[in-house]
Structure 1
Amino acid sequence: MKTQHSRPNILVVNDDGITAPGIKNLIEVVQEIGNVVVVAPDGPQSGMGHAITIGKPLRFDRVDLYEGVEMYKCSGTPVDCVKLAVNRIFKGKKPDLCVSGINHGLNNSINVIYSGTMSAAVEGAIEEIPSIGFSLDDYAQEADFSHCKKYIKAICEEVLAHGLPPATLLNVNFPNGEHIKGIKICRQANAKWAEEFDERKDPYHRPYYWLTGVFQNNDRGEDTDVWALDNGYASIVPVQFDLTAHHAIPVLNSWSFNV
């Protein structure tokens, strides 16, 4: 870890927008550790996954929301924020750490695929920056993040001290409530959303659809992020962005492609 005279540079991003309470709480934590630069969407960007903006310009403006913090709002996606930060602010001299969140709502299990919070952290890892996504099981605007802060600080300090394995980032989720039992290192649970589209009518009697669904956990293991959170623990899942199904390669090599 860097000495006090050479504090680490920390990039803070999110998907709930630059004025979200979650990012304010994350800034307060990492300010104790290093020099903070914030680049966040100018409005909510939840569920954007790893989307990027192409075909239209991005706006990127300095803002002064919190004293002593260099902050920028971006018209694009969470991933755009990371790309702009690396390219335009750090100019290739990458930060020592990228943290994303604190998200209002969990990003456990399959939710990591859809999450703008986690995709921002993935982009940081693609840029070879040690990266962490943080989420809390509370969607409320007035959510209380105070019980997460000591864990966030400890996790960030460990990552700065030890680094992360290549092409790996951390997905950290916190249960709701002020009593967290501790931290569990987990695997991603085998779960999914059972989705429905609720059909409704607009004032002109034309149908439109509203996505709804129920989260279904099909995994009874006690080593998963879902189990940890259900039992009062914070979960840490190491995530990789290599999507290759390596176990399937021998199977495909056994096929005969008669062309």
Structure 2
Amino acid sequence: MTKKPLILVTNDDGISAPGIRTLISVMKTIGDVVVVAPDSAQSGMGHAITLNSTLYAEEVFMNDGPQKEFTCSGTPADCVKIAIREILDRKPDLCVSGINHGSNASINVIYSGTMSAAIEAGIEGIPAIGFSLLDYSWNANFEACKSYVKTITENVLKNGIPNGIVLNVNLPNIPETDIKGIKVCRQAKANWVEEFDKRKTPQGKDYYWLTGKFVNLDGGEDTDEWALENSYVSIVPTQFDLTAHHFIKDLNTWNLND
């Protein structure tokens, strides 16, 4: 009898978020599931880890079992670390993170707790995928995601992912019948034009809310932003080696040791 793959599920929106509950339901059709997710929302945490405060992990029992589930008081990256070191009795065959409420396409991957959890798994040599839906609402409808999440997951388990790479998958917020398919893409060149909304407390102390507008600077038709705008699911193979290899040769021409 073929042994089912062990799948670690996590996210950054918290263990009760509809996105992760949808992801769990899909993963249970594929393998044995263990969930280790934050006990509260951790969006925008990037690859932060807990160093200067106590970290807790506690088993919980949700109403859509029978998978084993744990909450963690730390960040998404903490969740993966503690799952591998303390909770699981063997290395998982796959880690999936999400389904995030909101886009992690383009530059958003830098700030994403969802993708940082997947990257942490990748650092440990575990094939990993981050899934995101382009809808920030807590009540987002994830039904259209299910078949694509399953297809991509099964392909990863079948074909594998090279060491040092994780997959960043974003899904457009449209009915499933309107999705044209899946496109393998590069990350679009884009950024946030940010501002701070400055206000005062009743005591007269200044405080700030971060605001901004997303600006796509990339006109290419091979990017994740183009794919999503044109009704495709985007997959970007993402690496966590941040070395600018193409600049090493030029940098070596500098007079750095004179």
Q: TM over 0.5: same fold? A: yes
Q: Provide the residue aligned with 2:69 in structure 1.
A: 71
1:28 counterpart = 2:25: yes
Q: Bigger CA drift: 100-109 or 61-70?
A: 61-70
Q: Deviations over 1:166-195 (max 9, x none)?
A: 210100000011121110000000000000
Aligned to 1:195: 194
Deviation at 1:5, TM superposition (A): 3.5
SS at match of 1:223: coil
Secondary structure of 2:115's partner?
A: helix
Q: Which residue of 2 aligns with 1:85?
A: 83
**Counterpart in the other structure of 1:132:** 129
Partner of 1:7: 4
Unaligned runs of 5+ in 2: none
Q: What is the CA–CA distance in structure 2 between the aligned matches of 1:136 and 1:258, rounded to whole Å?
A: 49
Task: Name the CA distance, whole Å, in 1 between partners of 2:8 and 2:104.
Answer: 20
Q: Which amino acid aligns with 1:201?
A: K
For residue 56 of structure 2, what is the aligned residue in structure 1?
59
Q: How does 1:1-259 map to 2 (within 5 A)?
A: 5-65=2-62, 66-91=64-89, 93-178=90-175, 179-259=178-258
Mapped to 2, the partners of 1:155 and 1:26 lie a distance apart of 12
SS in 2 for 1:133: strand
In structure 2, how many angstroms separate the alpha carbons of the residues matched to 1:229 and 1:201? 39
Residue identity opposite 2:208 in structure 1: Y
Residues 79-98 of structure 1: CA deviation (Å, up to 9, x unaligned): 0000000001224x210000
Shifted more, 69-78 versus 177-186: the winner is 177-186
Runs of 4+ with >4 A deviation: none
Alpha-carbon separation, structure 1, partners of 2:45 and 2:99? 16
CA RMSD of aligned residues (A): 0.9
Deviation, 1:126, is 0.4
- Structure 2 residue identity aligned to 1:84: I
**Paired AA for residue 77 in structure 2:** V
How does the TM-score come out when normalised to structure 2?
A: 0.97
> What CA distance in whole angstroms lies between the structure 2 residues aligned with 1:258 and 1:89?
49
Looking at structure 1, the residues matched to 80 and 49 of structure 2 have their Cα atoms a distance apart, in angstroms, of 10
Paired with 1:129 and 1:16, the residues of 2 have a C-alpha distance of: 22
Deviation at 1:258, TM superposition (A): 4.8
Return the alpha-carbon distance in structure 2 between the equivalents of residues 258 and 151 of structure 1. Answer: 53
Q: Any unmatched runs of 5+ in structure 1?
A: none
Residue correspondences, number: 255
State how far apart, in whole Å, the 2-side matches of 1:58 and 1:258 are.
44
Secondary structure in 1 matching 2:173: coil
Secondary structure class of the residue paired with 2:110: helix
Pick closer, same or farther for the CA change 1:258–1:131 going to 2, 3 Å: closer
Q: Tell me which amino acid in the other structure corresponds to 1:113.
A: I
SS in 2 for 1:6: coil
Q: Quick one: percent identity of the two aligned structures?
A: 62
C-alpha displacement at 1:57, in angstroms? 1.3
SS at match of 1:248: helix
